[in-house]
Structure 1
Amino acid sequence: MARPAIVVALPVTERKIVADELRSAGFEAIQIGAPDELEALLEHRRDIAVAILDGETDLDTSLEYYGLLHERSHKIPALMVMSPSAMDRMFSPSSADEFFSRPYTADSIRWRIEAMCIRSMTVDDGSGPIIQSGSLEMGDWSRRATVLAIFNPKGGVGKTTIATNLGSALQLHRGQKVLLIDADTVTGHVTTSLGLEQVRTVADSWNDQADGGPVESLTELAAPHPSGLSVVALTSSPLNTEILEPSRVADSIATARPMYDFIVVDLHPSYSSLNLAIFEKADRILVPVTPDVPALRAAVQLRDVAIEVGLQDRLALIVNRANSGVSVADMERTVGMGALALIRSGGLLFVRAANEGRTVIEMYPRERITEDFDALADRLVRTHVPEASPADTPQRSGFRLFGRSKEPARA
């Protein structure tokens, strides 16, 4: 993964030396010489980690830069050269900002940047800063949330039920901060099943923004649910999707990652450009299947598509209604994926919970169906990288469903 971008706004004689040092460490160093260059850059870049400013020789210009870094939804920390006499002119600097003085070496700046990137991945629980959940990689400075896409190209397999209850189990029983996104722009009903009415959608926000309204992040749009989940819907109508440009939606999900531990995305059953863009951002694509031929055929089709586009390592099977009597081992062999979790049939429990705008995790914490979701949540919390399975590297072969041989389904 590429390391984040660093803006270098130092005097010309120092700018190139520092930029070259940062590039040697794998950062993208962007040299700028005026505030309007930074303003233009921030219009289309979302991966800037730190800006290096010169508040000693040109404090006024540096304060212009600083204002742009914190304008609108931007909260980009600054590493600034400052003299002690100039400190009292700063506008209450953020706790994420740092300062240094001359003389300095390019190498010392590089290591200050490394430390600031690490610090952006920490939280303070009262006992001092600790690294947030997940493995620490220098190139992963802005990542926190594990993005889970819930998808099967066949409808009716329980995607929304799994998305809402898995999110609730992670939030309530495992202490994870979860953003739940309804990205089914055709038949999505996450907000309805959770009893959230009249929510402001991403499409609403972006249409308002196009008319001169404010920029709103997914975090700002998220509606709170009693379970603690933050819930966002892309749209409330399939007729209001034109503004939902796929790469912009995917980028907005990536931008929300530092604010959450998990982002759970419920998708429409299609190979739309929107879904494909979200697949690229997903750490795992959880594939719910029910023990019936159409659902398993659809999962095999998804497996073949994933092989074609290089996403097969992200797939993981979720066997829904697993207590139907059909062999899970047979289902794994048929689909060519190992099962990450088995979810038994919840029967009327799901209906009763949805009628109350709740999840079974909230209403029936001692039921065995809740134990199934807790077990899945445990596996996801324990590991960020999908576990390999012998079935994860299939070759195209005859398609066998419970003794019936067919050719592989094709996308």
Structure 2
Amino acid sequence: MPSPSTSSGQTGGLPYDRLGAFCRENHAVLPGAGQGPLAGLTFAAKDVFDIAGSRIGFGNPAWLESHPPAAITAPAVQLLLDAGADMAGKTLTDEITYSLSGQNFHYGTPVNSAAPGRIPGGSSSGSASAVAGGLVDFALGTDCGGSVRLPASYCGILGIRPSHGRVSLEGVAPFTWSFDVAGWFARDADVFASVDDVLLDDESESHTPRRLLYALDAFDLVDRDVADALAPAVEAAAGVIGSRADITISPDGLPGWYETFRVIQAWEIWSNHAAWIGEAKPEFGPGIRERFEWASRVTQAEVEAARIRRGAIVERIGSVFEEGDVLCLPTSPRVAPPVDAPTDELENRVRAQAMSLLCVAGLAGLPQVSLPLASLGGLPLGFSLVGPRGTDRQLLALSQRLMART
């Protein structure tokens, strides 16, 4: 297995990284196998994936200092290398991946090339920035509450949250065990699908979609101009699939589903990291600090009640889908906010509104693809397709067809 390069020059010194997307303190590059389905392509990996001989930073200096170099490279990364792709570097993440803004108190905010002066979204901020800015062909990220899907929307690229458990999380810094997935970004639909062929690596057939489900309550959560901007994408998807039905996903309201999600998420995060926080006493930036403080106060009774609610939600979502159904909804309630938006605004109101849409796939472990099929005021706006668990290939095939029409 090749060792990571940390030499100076183009890769080590990162003179091409005009976007601030790559890590510097623990930068590493890895050559691919030189042949295979991804030969000739470059990729980046979010700084949560183990790279043999390199340390994970997890978006926080204290984590970087308190953890040893990895002994082996994470299987998801190794699969891409074995398929011929070259790893250009490790990309920035929000602190401990516990944010959706893309702003890191310690390391800065990667540039959103598609929306200058606006945040890239997080927590897979560097990966999205590197892809949108053309530094790499595709990039790995992780997604718990929306950390691939929201940056994809903000940066005008393709992004996928696969079905829960579909891509290996071995050698990935832990966040939550019941929501985390490894996903990826690309600018090009064919490259996007090529990565799928490597990471999913199975022979399951892609069934033809039969009906587009339009989530009325999801579109009702966004402003009218957002819904109007997404209308052509909805029409295109319905045209490709052949039929459409309007449904309500959550009779109780999607904001209530988000509350269920965030309680379970907080409990799992604190369970994973309380001991390290107590020992390392890391400095967290605004928003992250308050979120960890809240997570530390979630009780066993609260999480048990939330898990019961989650069970009912999963059952409800399962009852919505029939074979061949694909659900559509806005990826985000808005375009990327300005980089100078108040922290409280980004970490509370903007986060809560986005998570009310993003929690659907997370709660049920469903695959979701965000496609750059809309814009508002000249800024990217993602359109999402969600399928039943295990229909990742169906969504990706449909995504290719839709992207080919643009």
Query: TM-score, normalising length from structure 1?
Result: 0.28
When Rg is computed on C-alpha atoms for both structures, the one with the higher figure is 1
- Taking structure 2 as the reference length, what is the TM-score of the superposition? 0.29
